[in-house]
Amino acid sequence: MSQARHAALKSGYKLHPPAMGVFAIRNLATGRALIGRSTNLPGIINRHRFELKLGKHHNADLQADWKRYGEAGFSFEEVDTVQPSADPAFDAAAELDTLLAMHLEQCPRGSAQSYL
């Protein structure tokens, strides 16, 4: 790749960062979900899908259900997003934590509907 092409791609990435927000991996058969947050939604969704396909996901229950129902039995969703701000006081991590807490109220950790 030429240096000019590399510089253009890098500049484009800085001007248009990946979406950040809350994601969910839902078991379509049982309704059970893994809900999380990330500053890079496409990246984290790709990571979870990759780990599940390899059979190496850190969540054993989710991995077992993936083996049982297969990829077609799950949906990967960007549930909510946070818009970046030029304001220096903007705290993306705090905003993400607030959104995650709001979504976890509907699917609390330790409940039958949660993989957490």
Q: What is the pLDDT of residues 38-64, one digit of tens each?
A: 999 999 999 999 999 999 999 999 999
CATH code, residues 18-106: 3.40.1440.10
For 94, the token pair is 């705090």
pTM for the full predicted model: 0.85
Reported as a single tens digit per residue, the pLDDT across 4-18 is 888 877 777 667 788
**CA–CA dist 94, 100 (Å, integer):** 10
Res 13: pLDDT = 67
41 in helix, strand or coil? helix
Dihedral through CA 102, CA 103, CA 105, CA 108, nearest 10?
-140
Res 87: pLDDT = 86
Q: Which of 7-21, 30-44, 65-79, 95-109 has the lowest average pLDDT?
A: 7-21
- Residue 73 Cα distances to 26, 90, 114, angstroms: 8, 38, 16
